Amino acid sequence: MSLFEKAAITGIGETAHGRGLQHGSALSLQMQAALAAIADAGLSPRDIDGVIPVATGAAVAEDFITNFGIPDLRFSATTPMGGASCVAAIQAAAAAIAAGICRHVLLPIGRTGYSGTRIGARVHEMPQFRTIGEFELPLGNIAPAQIYAPMARRHMELYGTTSRQLAEIAVTTRQHAILNGNAAMTKPLTIEDHQASRMIADPFHLFDCSLESDGGAAVVVSSAAAARDLRQPRVLVMGVAEGHPDSPSVITQRPDILKIGLAKAAPRVFAMAGVKPADIQVAEIYDCFTYVVLRQLEEIGFCAQGEGGAFVENGALALGGRLPVNTHGGLLSQAHLAGMNHIVELVRQLRGQGGAAQVAGATIGLVTGYGDMGDGSIAIMRRG
């Protein structure tokens, strides 16, 4: 059995994005987004019979489940993959739906990444970073910018990738955020602005790094059959997969530090969906750092290994470009909601609800997640 078109995304919801616009705990932001997604689908909270809370930082899964008031919850799970968790949760939800366990699975996230614990302190408080915490934190390897930078540096040394090419990604993403109407960063950005921004962890400038955000986002995954009767145009999950890198304890210890879990997941998802990279009209690519977008484009097969730098040049990722990417502004310029906002945006695009950032005629697209251990997740969807 394959998960091909067994499930559909039927509801999407987000809080307002932008510093100072949100009030409340990570749990309340998570619930606010959950209620919005359920209402968007035309469902009631009592219709939800499955839940996969994406627990990062302060919000834990049990807290959501025990407080949300679901009368007959039949399926619960978590996907322990950091930023790859949200898209991986689509796979878990679709599997539970295909097995007949449940019909409507809620995937909510809430974060206080700005007003709560900041990234420099958060990472080594997280048990999943125990290995980095013991062996690399005492050396000064503290935050993701430092942890990821050696991957980007090696890519540059091996393939000639440049900081200006990384800047292309930041600039395009900002252009899209400006069109969004619900994004934290709304000031135009140029390649020169990026190059002049302060160095965080070489080769990452400030504008290579994603935001720290307060907010929430949620989606409802329903059985493909049940989705026919709901409020919104149906968006079917054609394929979904997760993949983990070799020996994933920490980046430094991977046999090939450039190789990521997505390399294993991408062939699986295209085989399940029965399409090729050339069929994808819009892509929402997890963008904790500009480099991570570039590398995933290679591993998905939009370009050859090492050619990501040339691929992203000249506005290739902009609306009207060869592959519109992160049409909502991503983690770099909309908000850091661990990629749940990427799923929300893909669904919006495929429904034709993309507003000023709509990719004309988009009917098929993909979304990825990327976790700090190199974990990858990917889903291909179509309007149907």
Partner 1 sequence: MSETFTKPVPHPTPDTQPYWDGLARGEFLIQRCKDCGKLRHYPRPVCDGCWSMAHDWAPASGRATVQSWTVCHHPFHIGFKAESPYVLLTVDLAEGVRAMGQLRDMDPAGLRLGLAMELGFERTAEGPVLPVFRPARQ
Residues 331, 211 contacting (CB under 8 angstroms): yes
- Residue 71 or 138: the one with the smaller Cβ distance to partner 1 is 138
* Residue choice 138, 187, 278, 320 for contact with partner 1 (CB under 8 A): 138
Q: Which stretch binds partner 1 (CB under 8 A): 53-61, 149-157, 235-243, 312-320?
A: 149-157
d(CA 201, CA 16): 30
Residues 340, 86 contacting (CB under 8 angstroms): yes
* Residue choice 74, 154, 164, 351 for contact with partner 1 (CB under 8 A): 154
Contact status: 137 vs partner 1 (CB under 8 A): yes
* Residue choice 10, 32, 79, 146 for contact with partner 1 (CB under 8 A): 146
* Three-point CA angle 341, 344, 346, nearest 5°: 110
| CB 131, min distance to partner 1, A | 6
| CB 57, min distance to partner 1, A | 16
| CB 364, min distance to partner 1, A | 36
d(CA 311, CA 301): 11
d(CA 160, CA 169): 16
| CB 130, min distance to partner 1, A | 9
* Residue choice 69, 80, 120, 274 for contact with partner 1 (CB under 8 A): 120
- Residue 111 or 205: the one with the smaller Cβ distance to partner 1 is 205
| CB 248, min distance to partner 1, A | 10
* Residue choice 19, 74, 124, 164 for contact with partner 1 (CB under 8 A): 124
Binding mask 194-213 for partner 1 (x = CB under 8 A): ----xxxxxx----------
The torsion region of residue 2 among left (phi > 0), alpha (psi -120 to 50) and beta comes to beta
CB-based burial label for 344 (10 Å; 0-12, 13-18, 19+)? buried
- Residue 198 or 276: the one with the smaller Cβ distance to partner 1 is 198
Contact status: 187 vs partner 1 (CB under 8 A): no
Contact status: 292 vs partner 1 (CB under 8 A): no
Binding mask 231-270 for partner 1 (x = CB under 8 A): ----------------x-xx-xx---x-------------
Contact status: 373 vs partner 1 (CB under 8 A): no
Amino acid at 126: M
Q: How many residues bind partner 1, per CB under 8 A?
A: 36
- Tokens 């908000």 correspond to 335
DSSP state of 362: -
**Count, residues in the chain:** 384
Q: Which two tokens mark 82?
A: 């950091």
- Residue 68 or 289: the one with the smaller Cβ distance to partner 1 is 289
**Buried/exposed code over 32-42 (b: 16+ C-beta within 10 A; e: otherwise):** bbbbbbbebbe
| CB 132, min distance to partner 1, A | 9
Residues 193, 333 contacting (CB under 8 angstroms): no
CB-based burial label for 307 (10 Å; 0-12, 13-18, 19+)? middle
* Residue choice 134, 192, 229, 313 for contact with partner 1 (CB under 8 A): 134
How far from 305 is each of 92, 241, 317, CA to CA, in Å?
A: 30, 21, 18
* Three-point CA angle 283, 287, 293, nearest 5°: 65
The residues that touch partner 1, with contacts defined as CB under 8 A, are 119-120, 124, 131, 133-143, 145-146, 149-151, 153-154, 157-158, 198-203, 247, 249-250, 252-253, 257
